[in-house]
Amino acid sequence: MTAHPNPLLDGPRLAPIAGGKPTGLVVLLHGYGSNGHDLISLARVIQRSLPGIAFVAPDAPSLMPRMAKAHQWWPIESFSPAERAAGVAGAAPDLDRFLSDELKSHGLGDDRLLIVGFSQGAMMALHVGLRRRHPIAGIIGISGMLVDPGSLEAEITNRPPVLLIHGTADDVVPFRSLELAANALSAAGVPVTTHVSRGLGHSVDQDGLAAAAAFVARVLP
């Protein structure tokens, strides 16, 4: 794992286990109060089935006050729709630049990029991924939601396949967020599939990881 010149975003990386130049890039975006090292563990679980893929899990640019190694894509106080919309819009340019820099460093195009996000990171993945200048390979949103769906029709620039994964017992981001996001994405012409984790809280289980791995293998063959 090597340091990256982007001063705002950086995090742990996994090189392809097959060695050599990667055939694709998966970027994992952590949730509120977490960090890239926490989420890169998901990559290690699915890496063996994706030997040619490189992974990176950047830390969000903002540290939470008085909490070591706890990062946030934007501060959450009220979790209101207006706060979420302003939060993703404010954090989006740095993430978009990071994605471009990472692809360039690997000599890959957007069509070889897949973004995975958990919770607040899923909100970032959907917002930025659907607004990239060039079409990407896909997006996986885990235990998240589609922020500011009203702006999607005017701002969407590409329609990659999307997989949404959510637990029915999520007490942080309501499970109904999955249906709301899926309906809005479908209405915008985005091909979306869902995976429901029965009885699961704000987390991802082995079935969800298996669904994610199969999705990555399909869109990044």
* Exposed/middle/buried for residue 80 (C-beta within 10 Å: 0-12, 13-18, 19+): exposed
Other Cβ atoms within 10 Å of 15 Cβ, number: 15
d(CA 163, CA 182): 9
Roughly what angle, to the nearest 10 degrees, separates helices 36-46 and 206-219?
A: 70
The pair of structure tokens assigned to 83 is 């706060």
Instruction: From the candidates 94, 170, 177, 195, give the one annotated as an active-site residue.
Output: 170
The active-site residue, picked from 119, 143, 177, 197, is 119
Q: How far apart are CA 158 and CA 190, in angstroms?
A: 8
**Closest C-alpha to 42, from 58, 25, 55, 61:** 55
Catalytic residue among 4, 10, 202, 205: 202
Spatial separation of the C-alpha atoms in residues 44 and 48, rounded to whole Å:
8
CA distance 149 to 131: 13
Quick one: tokens of 196? 């429901």
CB atoms within 10 A of CB 17: 13
β-pairing verdict for 24-29 and 13-14 = unpaired
Q: Tell me whether residue 195 is one of the annotated catalytic residues.
A: no
The question of whether 202 is a catalytic residue gets the answer yes
41 counts as catalytic:
no
Active site residues per annotation: 119, 170, 202
